[in-house]
Structure 1
């Protein structure tokens, strides 16, 4: 019988999809997270905290492959350090990690950049921890998920006037397609840093917001603003994109049609 596969952050947007796909393929799966899953969750769950270490040893018992989906706006490196130390003691032989396109190319040094774009530096820190852990690994960088793009657009739409960073473009990707790739990596030999996974199309930020407003039947004034700093400059230059790896199939418009009342482009 094969060993259990542990999915950290397994009740989140991506982790939940990874765990269910592994289970449906017939693999023993355990989900680890800080908060109990919602009613109806039928996958083995262990409560653990990657900030404090509580429950991590128990979560790793009998595990040889870990898919590390737990993340936050900051502190991912510290979480990864705690996880890989415990995973090394537990005899884990494959660590699969999800990172973000731009982690290696977007400079985050100033106080402003850390406040606005610290997520990229946090992911790069975690990448380095995983790569230097001594545990065979596979790391995938993906562009932003549709769900995060939608969350951002909804939040901005609450404002009477929406500030839109000039020159920002995004290449959102379907979380289900990212989950499929992580499952593929988890079930094969460790591959190190693998090619990026990005959505099929790049969009100016203003177009993403406009399409959401159209789908939701809302009207707002969009105000172009210049974002200062080296991180913003890198994003204007496309450091958060992977246009040569636009292998995702689902588009932002298709996602909106499923998730938002109304008709895109009305």
Structure 2
């Protein structure tokens, strides 16, 4: 049995990951700013409580992320507390070195910090989650149409990512990046929108659009997808139920 500490364990990926780790027989604690069952209270942003939280952990799985640009600082704080750790597993995103988004640049900085830390590590990049794709369509609920960029995506289910993370925590550190993983389908976003529309019973028309700019061109070029065979098994339609 391996003792795991999971950051971001209550998030979109964290919940299924924690469940998968426990189902595999690991002892799991979740880093949180709030007390709770199997929680360890600490603050990644300030670093308060991190050294004590990490004590006793064989593996730390770093899933926490911030929409406010704090990923790099949180990672610095975590790395300062994990001296002597056996294995650090870090979640990242496919294509971040090719797509010029600010959030992706922050993720690249996280990878650089981990690579230079001297801590035995494994970095896993995955394509966009099914949940995020559905969220983008759902956010347009007040529009008379569903706008869908003319590009392909390869979304993956968080449950599939959790399965891969479980494999990695049970293996020695890669000391680099594990092979990137993506979902079982490469689909045009307008087709993903049609799948979402059927699942939600929406009557709004799908409007394919071609967007400009470096970010869209990178997505349209397939830079957010992965090479090689798909890892994920759950399709977008299956995710929507």
TM (norm. structure 2) is 0.91
Q: How far apart, in 1, do the equivalents of 2:17 and 2:207 lie?
A: 38
2:43 maps to 1:55? no
| Among 59, 63, 75, the residue aligned to 1:69 | 63
Distance 1:147 1:34 in 2: 24
1:80 corresponding residue in structure 2: 75
User: Which digits, 9 at most, give the CA deviation of each residue in 1:58-89, with x for residues without a partner?
Assistant: 2212123100011123332222111111112x
After TM superposition, the runs of 4+ consecutive aligned structure 1 residues lying more than 3 A away are 34-37, 221-226
Q: Which structure: greater helix fraction?
A: 1
- TM-score w.r.t. structure 1 length? 0.83
Q: SS where residue 80 of structure 2 aligns?
A: helix
Once the two structures are TM-superposed, the CA of residue 234 in structure 1 deviates from its matched residue by: 0.9
Aligned residue in 2 for 1:26: 25
Q: Quote how far apart the aligned CAs of 1:137 are.
A: 0.5
Q: Check whether the contact 1:18–1:183 (CA below 8 A) recurs between aligned residues.
A: yes
Partner of 2:82, secondary structure, is: helix
Partners in 2 of 1:48 and 1:82 — Cα distance? 11
Q: Deviations over 1:159-210 (max 9, x none)?
A: 2233333x32211111111111111111110012111110011111122122
- Indicate which of 125, 128, 135 corresponds to 2:112: 128
Identify the range of structure 1 (233-242 vs 2-11) with the bigger mean alpha-carbon deviation.
2-11
Q: Deviations over 1:76-112 (max 9, x none)?
A: 2222111111112xx2121001111011221x2xxxx
- Structure 1 residue 119 displacement after superposition: 2.4
- Partner of residue 190 from structure 1, selected from 151, 173, 187: 173
Question: 2:94 aligns to what?
Answer: 101
| Cα 1:95/1:124, change in 2 over 3 Å | same
Aligned to 1:264: none
Name the residue aligned to 1:6: 5
What is the alpha-carbon distance in structure 1 between the residues aligned to residue 138 and residue 218 of structure 2? 25
Kept in 2: contact 1:3–1:62 (CA 8 A): no
Q: Is the 8 A contact 1:169 1:235 kept in 2?
A: yes
- Relative to structure 1, the CA distance from residue 54 to residue 252 in structure 2 (aligned partners, 3 Å threshold; closer, same or farther) is same
Q: Which runs of 5+ in 2 are unaligned?
A: none
How many residues matched? 239
Deviations 1:201-256 (A, max 9, x none): 11111221222122111122334444332222111100001142312111111111
Task: Tell me how far apart the structure 1 counterparts of residues 104 and 188 of structure 2 sit (CA, whole Å).
Answer: 20
In 2, the alpha carbon distance for the partners of 1:224 and 1:146 equals 19
Distance 1:226 1:35, change over 3 A: farther
Structure 1: stretches of 5+ with no match in the other structure: 109-116, 258-266
